[in-house]
Chain A
Amino acid sequence: MTNRARNIRITAAASVAVVVGMTGLVAVSEPLYRLFCKVTGYGGTPRMAEKASGATGEAMFTVRFDANVARGLSWGFRAAEPQMSVRVGEETLAYYEAKNTSDLPLVGTATFNVQPDRAAPYFNKIQCFCFTEQVLAPGETVRMPVTFFVDPEITKDVHARDIGTITLSYTFFKSDDQSKARVAQSEFKPESKTYSN
């Protein structure tokens, strides 16, 4: 083999190795991403915070609480209060309520979304029930708290400070994995409980 032919093989092999390497990276990205979310509490949240910084401002926002249930999950789901008026920077507690209206235990998972998008980076949640599975026995009701604050930095963002109303929207989906429902069925206890994490 000539020198050039050998070099060509080496370059091509190195290029293929890069492709294989990147493919490998994607292949393990899913568990890595989950780990990352677990460690940082990130999991698609615009922001997760330990607690509010304490600094509050003058500006007031209306926070609307929106609740949806996806097709296939026989739950009732609503916000305890449709909206609240909150002061910027102030830690606020709100509740959502879910009730299993079917006669089977069901596992649901919630996703959420903050609108308008440009408010999302400033909408900090300290506690929420997103991305964790909820098991509800038939007829069972659960109250789920959300603690949040609006970061005072929002008043410095020319594109976001004029927002008067922020909507926090939750959607419950039926989990693909219903095995926990079967466990719940065997230890069914009908009284209402308050969920906290």
Chain B
Amino acid sequence: MAEAHAHAHGHDHGAHAHHPTGWRRWAYSTNHKDIGTMYIVLAFVASLVGVAFSMMLRAELAYPGMQLIHDQQFYNVLVTAHGLIMVFFVVMPSLIGGFGNWFVPLMIGTPDMAFPRMNNISFWLTLVGLCLVATSTLVGTGAGTGWTVYPPLSNAVFHPGMAVDFAILSLHVAGAASILGAINFITTIFNMRAPGMTFHRMPLFVWAILVTAFLLLLALPVLAGALTMLLTDRNFGTSFFAPQGGGDPIFWQHLFWFFGHPEVYIMIIPAFGIISQVVSTFSKKPVFGYLGMAYAMVAIGFIGFVVWAHHMFTVGFNVETRAYFVIAHFHYVLSVAAVFAIFTGMYYWLPKMCGRMYDERLGQWQFWITFVGVNVLFFPQHFLGLAGMPRRIADYPDAYAGWNLVSSVGAAITLVGTLLFIYLLYRTLTAGERAPANPWGEGATTLEWTVESPAPFHTHEILPNITTQPAE
């Protein structure tokens, strides 16, 4: 693809020199790369909070009894905030808002997203959402409902204060932001591809974002609707989910999982996309079975919706069965798979985003420490689950003591790995070697490697023509 690009960045920037500088550059940004960067920074900040909360939880759980956290409601508040922050303000903004904004336009060969101003609004709404969820932990006794916000626990009887309302509003706002973002991605990918960039030549990461955007479009309105009903139940006397008014808490669970199921795929499909890109770059061949992978992602997205039905007919909600097993299981999916994909994306694209190379040896250390850490952290939780340890408890019978300590030691190792990553980022930004346009060699065939590093403010202003490329 090397000969296909080129002229995209060679032109005179004079005509575009009017773009704002200083704080205005960021506040009013309509530039997909700046917005992508802001999403990554937001996710980074949120992850500090989310990880800090999880470390407090693991520290409490290291030994039976109550040491650090002296009341169960506060424990629940931390669990809830950790879950919400990790899902809505770390994994989604980094994979979709961050890498998606940065690389979808670069990869399909277009100067920017279809609706740059809307893109700006999406970002700021996401930030408002993050502030609202942070607020919810601080008002009254906080929202101790779990990230699934199940009534009756989330209703006004059990959580009379404003905390749950803040949490609900937070999800509303973050959801609206994601819907706008999804419309933007779909419109961009459908209409703004460079000449010759057919669907079947589109990089797998772009496919992944496209499928994810569709899932968001279908799933988030359902969450928003359900949250609205919960909000009116709490504040305006309706009883959609309140049994004393003829409502049914189980109805919430159906609505929630109509969203929750695809949500798992929303977090994992972009991760697939990144891994596919990296594998094809370093194996120097397009992902074996490119089309197979593309359609697999479409199929997974589709199935993500269909299997919602299994919740519909197995109520009694077995999800809670062998409770800690569930914790182990979804952390393997979310924390090990999605977060490792985020690290992978950072390593892969950091040279393009900041124009500097990271230290490979530090990177290897970071990988292995974190890898050992998360496995020591989450694997023993399977045993705890099988032994019957429930979720969302700050104290537990002595029988569960051993593996809980192991798990908490794993959390500490993971923390070391995470801190090392922060150090690596710092080193890269301040002292990294200058990166060439394409540091990864012949395997890196996608268009982002055809522009210089760091990618200039404007790229692909003259559309790259890739009609000469054979379809992969």
Contacts and interface: CB of A to CB of B under 8 A. Distances in A.
Interface string A118-137: 10110100000001010000
B244 interface: yes
B191 A7 contact: yes
A174 interface: yes
B225 A109 contact: no
Contacts of B245: 175-177
B318 A131 contact: no
A30 B321 contact: no
A173 interface: yes
Main secondary structure of the interface of B (DSSP, over half): helix
B54 interface: no
A22 interface: yes
A22 B237 CA distance: 25
B183 interface: yes
B318 A26 contact: no
Contact of A159 (B217, B220, B322): B322
B243 A111 contact: yes
Contact of A173 (B190, B221, B244, B321): B244
Interface stretch (B249-257, B333-341, B350-358, B436-444): B249-257
B242 interface: yes
A85 interface: no
A37 B248 CA distance: 10
Given A118-B321, A177-B245, A26 B315 contact: no
A92 to B, nearest CB: 19
Most buried by B among A71, A117, A133: A117
A117 B244 contact: no
Contacts of A47: 316
Contact of A174 (B220, B237, B244, B250): B244
B217 A8 contact: no
Interface of B: 114-115, 157, 179, 182-183, 186-187, 190-192, 217-218, 220-222, 224-226, 229, 237, 239-240, 242-246, 248-251, 254-255, 314-318, 320-322
A121 B316 contact: yes
Give the interface residue-count category, chain A.
35 or more
Contacts of B115: 12
A43 B288 CA distance: 48
A173 to B, nearest CB: 3
Rank and list the top 10 A-B pairs by shortest CB-CB distance, nearest first: A26-B225, A120-B316, A173-B244, A176-B245, A22-B221, A44-B250, A46-B316, A15-B183, A111-B243, A23-B221
A15 B179 CA distance: 9
Given A30-B251, A33-B254, A131-B248, A19 B316 contact: no
Contacts of A16: 183
B237 A117 contact: no
A11 B244 contact: no
A120 to B, nearest CB: 3
Nearest to B241: A30
Interface in A39-69: 43-44, 46-47
Contact of B218 (A22, A27, A71): A22
A4 B218 contact: no
A4 B221 CA distance: 28
Interface string A2-40: 001001100110011011001101110110010001000
A79 interface: no
A93 interface: no
A26 B370 CA distance: 41
A150 interface: no
A176 B244 contact: yes
Interface in A150-181: 159, 171, 173-177
Contacts of B226: 26
A111 B243 CA distance: 7
B246 A111 contact: no
Contacts of A175: 244-246
Contacts of B237: 176
Contacts of A29: 225, 251, 255
